[in-house]
Structure formats: C-alpha cells, structure tokens
Structure 1
Amino acid sequence: MLKGYEVVYEKGRLKWLDEQPNIESARVIVTVLAEGCVEPGRRAPPASLAGKAEILGDIVAPLVDEADWECLK
C-alpha cells in the first residue's frame, strides 16, 4: 500500500511534519519541490462574476427520475 507523508529535508535529515510511519524499513520515493514553489490556493470564480450567477437546480439530486430505476429492481 502506498501512503504519502510530508517531511522537510534539512542538512541531511528528515523532519516529519505530520505522523511518522511505524515501520522498520521501507522503499521510498522522494519528490523535491523547488524552494519558493507556491502551493496552489483555493480556487475562486473571477470577481467580475459576483452576483451574476444563478443556481438552476440541486447539483446533488439525481439526473433521472426514480421511476426510471424501478425497472432495475
């Protein structure tokens, strides 16, 4: 199973930022982020669209009527 952990590499040592895995030995893959690399922030619509959007329906509701599913029962 693969699981990601966040660490900082300083002077040859790893500093764990979150939980540390409880393992004796493991093969690891290291990805180095360049210094000054900006983490992506929360996405937001442009300010020019403020107040102009209209909600047309429930995005969580099913797209088909429940009667259409009765044939599968």
Structure 2
Amino acid sequence: MLQSYEAIFDQGTIRWLGDKPQVETARVIVTMLAPMDSTQPKTRHKASARIAGQGKIIGDLLEPVIPASDWTVLG
C-alpha cells in the first residue's frame, strides 16, 4: 500500500511538513517538485481596495455576543 507524506528536502536532510511515517525502514519512491524559491514568500490573497473601511465591529471583541449557555453545539 502506498502512502504519501509531504516533506522538504534541503541540503541532504528531510524536514517533514505533517505526520511523519511511523516506520524504521521502508522502500520509498521520491517525486521532486519544481525547486522552491526561498527568497520570495508565498503570495497571499489581498482584499479588494474597494471594500477598505467597509467592515463594522458588532459587539465586544473579547466576549461573545450571546452567552455560551445558548450554544447547543457546546454541550
């Protein structure tokens, strides 16, 4: 059975990005993706400038608007 694990290979070492395999010895097939450009951070999605300043804060930021006892999913 094949299982996939995501890792970064950097100068001869493997850094696991998630769960690492729970085995001592295994035969592996390695597929290399395009080289990573470490000088540029990942691009992040940006909100449209047209919605700047349109948001409103409703209620307290630190406390919920309704009491926790009213939430049926918590109990």
The TM-score bracket by the shorter chain reads 0.3 to 0.5
What is the TM-score with the length of structure 1 in the denominator?
A: 0.47
